[in-house]
Amino acid sequence: MFTDPTGLQTVVLPYVLPWSLPVPMPGPGIVLPPVLINPSESVENPLDNPDIDMGDTGTWPTPPVEGPVIEGDPSRKKPKERGEKSYYDENGGEWRPHLRDPFHEPHWDHKPPSTPEDKYPRWWNVAPSTVPTLDFDVPMT
């Protein structure tokens, strides 16, 4: 069951992947199509692996980006202090696995490269390419 923050919508969706629901909800009165997963199909998230070591990119799956990636130090202070690593794509975008925690399903954290228009780009949560996501456009305001 999912209840939006306003308490106006409650949706019961069997076999829904939690990362496939948009947040925030688009508003009262808008019905979201359910994302149903056949329970007989196995959906495996490659980042849901206890053997991933944040300091060893050799244990990481490949991020969902075209082209080569190279290992480097993370741009953020705390991961760097912990001896963790990051991948960088050929455009300068940073990729880091975000492992399962009480608030998140495993996903990739991605920071696009800075540009003159956006010197401090925000981080994005990117589902692994093997994990199904919603296939419709809902404006997030």
Q: pLDDT of 24-74, one tens digit each?
A: 544 555 555 555 545 445 567 888 888 999 999 999 999 988 899 999 999
My answer on whether omega of the bond before 24 falls inside 30° of 0, hence cis, is yes
Structural domain including 89 reads 57-126
Q: How far apart are CA 110 and CA 125, in angstroms?
A: 6
- Based on the fold, state whether residues 93 and 121 are members of the same structural domain: yes
- Based on the fold, state whether residues 10 and 70 are members of the same structural domain: no
- Based on the fold, state whether residues 84 and 25 are members of the same structural domain: no
Number of domains in the chain: 2
CB 86 within 8 A of CB 75: yes
* pTM metric for this prediction: 0.62
Quickly count: other Cβ atoms within 10 Å of residue 74's Cβ. Answer: 21
Q: pLDDT of 74-132, one tens digit each?
A: 999 999 999 999 999 999 999 999 998 888 889 999 999 999 999 999 999 988 865 54
Q: How far apart are CA 28 and CA 6, in angstroms?
A: 8
Q: How far apart are CA 95 and CA 33, in angstroms?
A: 30
